[in-house]
Chain A
Amino acid sequence: MTFEQFSDGTSFLHRADPKGKLISTGVLSLVIALSQTRGTALLGFPLAFTLVLAARLSWSKLLRRLFIVNSFNLLLCLILPLTYTGGKTVSLIGINLSSTGFFLALLITVKSNAVILLFISLLATSTAAQLGHGLQQLRLSPKLCLLLLFSYRYIALIQQELFRLQRAAGLRCFQPKTNLHTYRTYSYMLGMMLVRSWNRAARVQQAMKLRGFSGQFYSLYDSGGMRKSDLLLSAVLLLAGAGLVVIEILSI
């Protein structure tokens, strides 16, 4: 199972330096997430959408992702008008619906889609390894970067271990139901997964020690620093972020 569905591609966003992308995603998603007015959210969305278009991603995968995220938003659109207290209300077939709640849910939907499209177009177009090295070059705590790189490296392996245990249970006619036997079986599978991960960690640790690991990875993936195009991209995105801040301040 591959987790990174958007990281291979040929667009300029895929080729751009992860450092610039990390900084601009951080700034832009903070601006959009912190915004309180409709104007900022409504302008942030087309910006994020343009970036997704520029990244030339598979539409089916993209829509599947957005569907999952928006199913929660749909729930919010249904719940908030019924439960929101205060603000304007509209009476519909005898039920009081809060229009403030409905507009709030809509604002949340636009904001969350904008931030998620930004995340997909800028960060998910790099692999976690590239981002880890980018963060390392941005002088984030080296230990945290190592944790990120190691976890990323071993997720797929640990998942395979778990699949293997589940397959073994399936071969012994294990059928999950709502009972204590099922929960005990799952716990033992998880426990076994932890035991194997633990032992694997010990072996990897020894192997790295043997090779003189001193807390630093030297990556073969060398982006060659920030090129002119990377600087241009970051500058444009940061300017857009500044523009959104100005609009936010003006419309409050």
Chain B
Amino acid sequence: MHISEGILSAPVLISGGVVAAIGTFIGLKKIDLEQIMPVALLSSAFFVAGLVHVPLGPGSVHLMLIGLLGVMLGWAAFPAILIALFLQALFFQFGGFAVLGVNTVTMSVPALCCYYLTRPWIDNRKTRPAASFIAGFLAILLASLLTACALALTDTGFTAAAQLIIAANVPVMIIEGCITMFTVGFLAKVQPEILHLEYA
């Protein structure tokens, strides 16, 4: 859900940059030298997951796993997402330099919300499947809402395009919900300590 370069207005770009900088600063404060390695590896896993296309009807959608990342990293999701987006911009020119802040915010804030809203339920074995589905679903819902807001705040003429984005992302929300639910279940069985890392 990248907004590409050249669309957003100056106030939106600047406020996005400021929020992203604050979030990244807090996120970096929460991780120490010992934890840099796992965060970096999750950041590259997030990058790679963005290259995976899962089928949806005749087409396909690429995964984002924002919810999963948020649940695993908490505040550290900010720097992890910033790095993954910077590398995507460098390698594929998805998004660019000036919108890096806004794109970081539209993905990290949902990740953080998922952390605070669903994390307690994920730690509980009984509510884990439902909570992780909601984490995946909610992350994409919030991310598309924030993207739509960024567009609508730029120019009222974009309102229709913004509504289109939210509508187009409904199937993605369901898929991300399923994928997050199964992945969390898998991790809980195979290597539960991965789910216990949290830097919030």
Contacts and interface: CB of A to CB of B under 8 A. Distances in A.
A190 B178 CA distance: 13
Interface string A170-192: 00000011101011101110111
User: Size range of the interface on B?
Assistant: 35 or more
Contact of B90 (A72, A79, A128): A128
A151 B88 CA distance: 12
B56 interface: yes
A49 interface: no
A100 B156 CA distance: 12
A251 interface: no
Interface stretch (A24-32, A220-228, A230-238): A24-32
A193 B90 contact: no
B41 A104 contact: no
B54 A151 contact: no
The majority secondary structure among interface residues of chain A is helix
Interface in A70-107: 72-73, 76, 79-80, 83-87, 98, 100-101, 104, 107
B194 A195 contact: yes
A215 interface: yes
Residue of B25, B40, B159, B181 with most chain A CB atoms under a 10 A cut-off: B40
Given A33-B5, A195-B194, A84 B157 contact: yes
Given A201-B41, A205-B37, A194 B187 contact: yes
Contacts of B180: 187
Contacts of A41: 6
Contact of B7 (A36, A108, A195): A108
Contacts of A143: 28, 31, 33, 36, 79
Q: Is the interface of B mostly helix, strand, loop or mixed?
A: helix
Given A36-B10, A176-B55, A190-B183, A25 B37 contact: no
B200 interface: no
A151 B89 contact: no
B40 A69 contact: no
A34 interface: yes
Interface string B70-100: 0000000001101110110111110011110
A198 B41 contact: yes
A4 interface: yes
Nearest to B39: A147
A177 B36 CA distance: 37
Nearest to B175: A183
A190 B44 contact: no
B155 A104 contact: yes
Interface stretch (B45-53, B105-113, B119-127, B140-148): B45-53
Contact of B186 (A25, A119, A187): A187
* Residue with the greatest number of chain A CB neighbours at <10 A, chosen from B39, B98, B160: B98
A152 B83 CA distance: 9
